[in-house]
Amino acid sequence: MGPLACDPCTTEHNHLNAQVFYTEKDDGLTKDWKSLTYCNPPYSKMKLWAPKIKQQAEKDVEIIALVKNATGTRWFESLWGADAICFVSGRLRFVGAENSAPFESLVLYFGRRKATFRDIFGEIGRVL
């Protein structure tokens, strides 16, 4: 969907080549993010990251977020406002992992380019 301006939770390797990136040491939770942000938060800290995603989206930051498909959890409540949701088919195998994750994933989109998101992410799952 275009070059990434910000990855607020990554390592110093900055795999996705974001223009600005934050590691645990920088603490991306304390920063303002920029469009276009890609966020794949630490899953053990969703109580902090879900409200942060919502807060930044409300500041008009365009965000793509890869999260666990855990729509029944309390933390997910903050994320129902997504403009589009891709229900990823199958289970992802993360870089360095031997097996697929024991859970399904969602890609959430916050922004005005819903049709573009649907076109691109429709290739990996159903988009609502």
Judged by beta carbon, residue 22 or residue 110, the one nearer ligand SAM is 22
Please, is 83 exposed, middle or buried when counting C-beta atoms within 10 Å of its C-beta (0-12, 13-18, 19+)?
middle
Residue 33 neighbours by CB under 8 Å, 6+ apart: 6, 8, 39, 56, 61, 63
Q: For ligand SAM, which is the closer residue by CB, 94 or 112?
A: 94
Q: Does 27 bind ligand SAM (CB under 6 A)?
A: yes
Residue 127 · residue 86 · CB < 8 Å: yes
Is the Cβ of residue 9 or residue 127 nearer to ligand SAM in the bound state?
9
Nearer to ligand SAM, 97 or 115 (CB): 97
Residues 6+ apart with CB under 8 A from 67: 40, 41, 43, 46, 50, 76, 79, 105, 106, 108
* Interacting residues with ligand SAM between 34 and 53 (CB under 6 A): 40, 42
Task: Give, in degrees to the nearest 5, the angle at Cα 75 between 71 and 78.
Answer: 85
Q: Is residue 9 close enough to count as binding ligand SAM by CB under 6 A? A: yes
Task: List the one residue from 4, 6, 18, 22 that touches ligand SAM (CB under 6 A).
Answer: 22
105 in contact with ligand SAM (CB under 6 A): no
Rule CB under 6 A: say whether 29 interacts with ligand SAM.
yes
- The residues binding ligand SAM (CB under 6 A) are 8-11, 15, 22-24, 27-29, 40, 42
